[in-house]
């Protein structure tokens, strides 16, 4: 996890209940193991998870892990992200999706 400290400041890291990097799993990308480890660390079934992705490979891995996937068009246009369950243009749209879909 030393690489993570270089790209994600501690104050941001503290916002997450778990963080999984490639060095924490036997098989990283292109396998869904990082997503599955994150679910296990949180004590959740994959079907209880929401993956937010911006790339086709990440979407494929989320779907292979049997997780709901919301894609955001931050780096690619919508037509490249159609494998996701839902595609949004802004992070705020995901917040609205969560509020509509989840009983908090």
User: In sequence order, what are the beta bridge partners of 68?
Assistant: 50
Angle of CA points 21, 3, 10, to nearest 5°: 90
Q: What is the pLDDT of residue 3?
A: 65
39-68 confidence digits (pLDDT tens):
999 999 999 999 999 999 999 999 999 999
pTM above 0.75, yes or no: yes
Q: What is the pLDDT of residue 94?
A: 82
What's the CATH code, domain 2-101?
3.40.50.1000
Q: What is the pLDDT of residue 104?
A: 41
Q: What is the pLDDT of residue 23?
A: 85
Helix axes 33-42, 56-64, angle to 10 degrees: 60
Q: What is the pLDDT of residue 9?
A: 78
> Within the chain, which residues score under 50 in pLDDT?
103-104
């Amino acid at each position: 996890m030393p690489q993570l400290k270089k790209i994600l400041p501690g104050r941001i890291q503290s916002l997450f209940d778990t963080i999984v990097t490639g060095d924490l799993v036997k098989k990283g990308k292109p396998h869904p193991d990082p997503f599955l480890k994150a679910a296990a660390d949180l004590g959740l079934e994959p079907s209880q998870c929401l993956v937010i992705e911006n790339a086709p490979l990440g979407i494929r891995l989320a779907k292979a892990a049997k997780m709901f996937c919301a894609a955001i068009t931050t780096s690619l246009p919508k037509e490249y992200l159609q494998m996701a369950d839902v595609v949004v243009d802004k992070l705020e749209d995901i917040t609205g999706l969560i509020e509509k879909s989840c009983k908090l």
